[in-house]
Amino acid sequence: MNLVLPHRDHQNKALAFIAACQEAGTEMAGHSELDCVPYETWLQKIYNHHFHRDVPKGRVPASTFLAFEGSTLVGIINIRHKLNAFLCEAGGHIGYMVHPAHRQKGYATEMVRQGVQWMRDALSIDKVLITCSPDNPASRKTILNNGGVYENTVDNALLGIVERYWIA
Each residue's pLDDT expressed in tens, for the chain with a length of 168 residues:
999 999 999 999 999 998 898 888 876 655 556 667 889 999 999 999 999 999 999 999 999 999 999 999 999 999 999 999 999 999 999 999 999 999 999 999 999 999 999 999 999 999 999 999 999 999 999 999 999 999 999 999 999 999 999 999
- Report d(CA 60, CA 83) in Å as an integer: 7
Is 133 within 8 Å of 153 (Cβ atoms)? no
Sequence-separated (6 or more) residues with CB below 8 Å from residue 133 = 139, 159, 160, 161, 162, 163
pLDDT for position 72:
97
Q: What letter would DSSP give residue 165?
A: E
* Helix/strand/coil (H/E/C) assignment for every residue in 15-45: HHHHHHHHHCCCCCCCCHHHHCCCHHHHHHH
The neighbouring-strand residues paired with 164 are 131, 152
pLDDT for position 35:
61
pLDDT for position 128:
98
Give the Å distances, CA to CA, from 12 to 27, 30, 73, 76, 98. Answer: 18, 18, 10, 14, 17
Q: Does domain 2-167 have CATH number 3.40.630.30?
A: yes
Residue spans per domain, the chain: 2-167
Cβ–Cβ contacts within 10 Å for residue 61, how many?
16
What pTM was estimated for this model as a whole?
A: 0.92
Q: Dihedrals φ, ψ of 95, to 5°?
A: -130, 145
pLDDT for position 30:
52
pLDDT for position 29:
53
Is 52 within 8 Å of 69 (Cβ atoms)? no
